[in-house]
Amino acid sequence: MNKTFKQKVLAIVAKIPKGKTLTYKQVAVRAGSPRAYRAVGNILNKNSDPGIPCHRVVGSDKKMRGFNRGISEKINLLKKEGLKFSKEKIILQRTSRAAR
């Protein structure tokens, strides 16, 4: 199928598991164009699909870039998902602390 990048991105974002977040770049990579992270955000912004958890898509810093409803609202939603936040930054529980 000639699925446009948009369709792929939407499908990928819709497949994001609860409590997880992907960066625009990751989505772009999964879509087949690691350099189209720009288009990814562009697509989501123009697409207001209810089945697209765009709030699970964040920037490279795991920060909310911009949302139609307001970043704070998305943060609240993600908090319910089980994630934690530091202002607009998502707190990653990285195991890189060796003993932790």
Partner DNA sequence: CGTATGACGTGCA
Partner DNA sequence: GTGCACGCCATAC
What angle, rounded to 10 degrees, do the helices at 37-46 and 5-14 form?
Answer: 80
- Catalytic residue list contains 54: yes
- The yes or no reply on residue 38 touching DNA (CB under 7 A) is yes
Asked whether the CA dihedral 77, 86, 46, 12 is positive or negative, the reply is: negative
Please tell me whether residue 55 binds DNA under the rule CB under 7 A: yes
33 burial type by CB count under 10 A (0-12 exposed, 13-18 middle, 19+ buried): middle
Confirm or reject binding of residue 67 to DNA (CB under 7 A): yes
Stretch that binds DNA, among 66-74, 76-84, 90-98 (CB under 7 A): 66-74
Q: Does 86 bind DNA (CB under 7 A)?
A: no
**Binding of DNA at residue 46 (CB under 7 A)?**
yes
Q: Residue 43 corresponds to which tokens in the numbers above?
A: 């697509």
CB neighbourhood size of 57 (10 A): 24
The catalytic residues are 54
What is the binding site for DNA (CB under 7 A)? 4-6, 23-25, 33, 35-48, 54-55, 57, 59-61, 65-68
